[in-house]
Amino acid sequence: MNGYLRLFDRALVLAAIVHHDMPRKGTAIPYLIHPVHVATILLRHGYGDTLAVAALLHDVLEDIDYDNGRAQLAIRSAFPRAGLPDAILTGEAFRTAFDAFLAAEFPADVLSLVRAVTEPSSSESPVRSWADRKSDTLARLAEAPHDVVVLKSADALHNVRSIVEDIDHHGATVLGRFKAAPADTLWYYEGVACHSRARLDNAPIALELTDATRALATIVRPA
């Protein structure tokens, strides 16, 4: 068996470029840690390569800066057959070129998963509150395809585990990093866990997410 997967490597390279110099919120930890952990969670739970590759890319569309010439140059260097023009593009021109690059480089089933877990950007829809965006995410999970729920469950699992771990090391002030109040953060992740259990028929990943949210609840809502 060949353990090397070129598609995984290419997705990891792209994620590293897009998330370059981005830390996890309120920390000095490189953001790239997050998609790598999400992919690892999926692989450890027995899900296949398509979901693992989508995990590496799941925040790329939300986080790429279409006015960042450095990102375009880095992508062109790492993917010499990307089809990106020599001239530096910005804004909608780079968005269009980047979408074409993604479609040429990655399978449609991977990109479908990535787009399904990507929140609309402010340029694609009116600016909405955190609560509205998260309510919409939960509503979509109720009808989302099975693999989208799996991917979102792994994403939430790593986020919740990271929050609990950080609180263990640094105290409850960690919760101040987030836009939402602690109770609202817990509400959102409990909602994801609820949909995960229901849609995935209590699969191990759903139960692990539930355990993680319960650990967070003991901190946010102590008895």
Listed residues 118, 148, 180: the one ending a domain:
118
Mean pLDDT score across all residues of the chain? 91
Write the CA distances from 152 to 27, 105, 138, 175, 215, integer angstroms: 23, 23, 10, 21, 19
Q: What pLDDT digit, counting tens, does each position of 57-74 carry?
A: 999 999 999 998 888 999
Q: What is the pLDDT of residue 112?
A: 97
Residues 10 and 86 in one domain: yes
99 and 195 in a single domain? The answer is no
Quick one: pLDDT at residue 121? 60
CA-to-CA separations, 160 to 11, 50, 93, 102, in angstroms, rounded? 24, 23, 36, 29
Amino acid at 209: L
- Total number of domains in the chain: 2
- The sign one gets for the Cα dihedral 29, 32, 33, 38 is positive
SS in 3 state form for 45-76? CCCCHHHHHHHHHCCHHHHCCCCCHHHHHHHH
Q: Are both 97 and 163 inside the same structural domain?
A: no
Q: Residue 23 pairs with which residues in a beta bridge? A: 30
pLDDT reported for residue 223: 57
| Residue 5 sits in the same domain as residue 79 | yes
Phi, psi of 30 (to 5 degrees): -55, 135
Query: End of a domain among 102, 118, 134?
Result: 118
Other beta carbons within 10 angstroms of residue 34's beta carbon come to 22
Pair 138, 221 in one domain = yes
Check whether residue 1 and residue 111 sit in a common domain. yes
Residue 6 and residue 49 in one domain? yes
Looking at the structure, do residues 202 and 142 belong to the same domain, yes or no?
A: yes
pLDDT for res 198: 97
Residue 48: predicted pLDDT: 93
Measured between alpha carbons, how far is 59 from 47 in angstroms, rounded to an integer? 19
Would you state the structure tokens that stand for residue 165, as one six-digit string?
A: 């771990």
215 and 141 fall within a common domain: yes
**What is the pLDDT, as a whole number, of residue 125?**
53
Regarding whether 98 and 161 lie in a shared domain, the answer is no
Range of the domain at 92: 1-118
State whether 96 and 203 are in the same domain.
no
The number of beta carbons lying within 10 Å of the beta carbon of residue 55 is 32
Residues 104 and 184 in one domain: no
Give Cβ neighbours of residue 161 (< 8 Å, ≥ 6 apart).
212
Residue spans of the chain under pLDDT 70: 1, 121-126, 223
pTM over 0.85: yes
Q: Which of 59, 83, 118 is the last residue of a domain?
A: 118
Residues paired with 30 in a beta bridge: 23
pLDDT at 212: 98
